[in-house]
Amino acid sequence: MTDACFGHPRLAAIYDPLDPDRSDLDAYVRMAEEFGARRVLDIGCGTGVFALLLADRGLEVVGLDPAKASVDVARGKPGGDRVRWIHGDATALPPLRVDLATMTANVAQAIAAPKDWQETLRGAYRALRPGGRLVFETRDPAVRAWEKWNRKDSYHVTEIPGVGAVESWFQVTEVDGPLVTFRGTYVFAADGQVLTSDSTLRFRELREIEAELTAQGYVVDEVRDAPDRPGREFVLLARRPEADRA
């Protein structure tokens, strides 16, 4: 099920203004350049910020997301016609041979069910050309980032042109082993509407991630530190072998 913050049209429309600093994507742009990627699959593309950054640089990009409202926002942005947008998940992709597949921000953790995660890795593997790379980030569970996900630390009021003031905050509602569930609350001053969005993230240990990638046929080339969140996140660089089982 798609989280309301991505799937509800009113929330998808304000997703970007509520999170305007996307400097976290700079590292992914650099990696696309580092690997000489010309064709990229952006898994969990959301409102299309990263996909459009790459398209602006002349890359051939496929943006994939299960939230139709977010894909609609992405498609309607300037330059949106330069990206191939797909509403769906990695289990039902058309035939592709991309150089690079990415999952930026919280995408990898949001695929919380083990079966869904395995199928996503398989779908990305099939979409990659031999030698192509999968890159994604995930929070280090040892940092316990969720302990600051509360109203006091996350409350903001954002003035959005054409929308008005929107209050927003997050609050953890449950911690169950590696699963952390939290609720986002959004209050629209214009009409008083209150919308909520419940999300669950899986905090995987590094050894667990590496083992799963290996089980799906990948070679794990490197684990990097996230430059925008040093010491808090892992960035996994995996590769489909040149000569593989497919």
Each of the 246 residues of the chain gets a pLDDT tens digit; together they read 689 999 999 999 999 999 999 999 999 999 999 999 999 999 999 999 999 999 999 999 999 999 999 999 999 999 999 999 999 999 989 999 999 999 999 899 999 999 999 999 999 999 999 999 999 999 999 999 999 999 999 999 999 999 999 999 999 999 999 999 999 999 999 999 999 999 999 999 999 999 999 999 999 999 999 988 899 999 999 999 997 655
Structure tokens at 70: 């977010």
Tell me the one-letter amino acid at 38. Answer: R
12-49: b (≥16 Cβ within 10 Å) or e? bbbbbeeeeeeebbebbeebbeebebebbbbbbbbbbb
In a domain, 246, yes or no: no
In a domain, 82, yes or no: yes
Torsion of CA 106, 137, 212, 172, to 10 degrees: -40
Residue 161 CB-half CA count within 13 A: 1
Q: What does the pLDDT read at residue 97?
A: 97
Q: What does the pLDDT read at residue 1?
A: 63
In a domain, 118, yes or no: yes
| Residue 95 and residue 57 in one domain | yes
| Residue 192 and residue 207 in one domain | no
Q: How far apart are CA 3 and CA 20, in angstroms?
A: 20
Q: What does the pLDDT read at residue 227?
A: 87
Q: What does the pLDDT read at residue 19?
A: 93
Q: How far apart are CA 14 and CA 158, in angstroms?
A: 10
Host domain of residue 147: 143-202
Q: In the block, which residue shows the tokens 């942005």?
A: 77
| Residue 158 and residue 71 in one domain | no
| Residue 20 and residue 107 in one domain | yes
Q: In the block, which residue shows the tokens 């209150």?
A: 194
Tell me the one-letter amino acid at 157. Answer: V
Q: How many domains in the chain?
A: 2
Q: What does the pLDDT read at residue 50?
A: 98
| Residue 77 and residue 119 in one domain | yes
Decide: helix, strand or coil at residue 106: coil
| Residue 198 and residue 230 in one domain | no
Q: What does the pLDDT read at residue 244?
A: 64
Model pTM? Answer: 0.95
In a domain, 245, yes or no: no
Decide: helix, strand or coil at residue 21: coil
Maximum Cα interatomic distance, the chain, rounded to a whole number of Å: 58
| Residue 122 and residue 27 in one domain | yes
In a domain, 244, yes or no: no
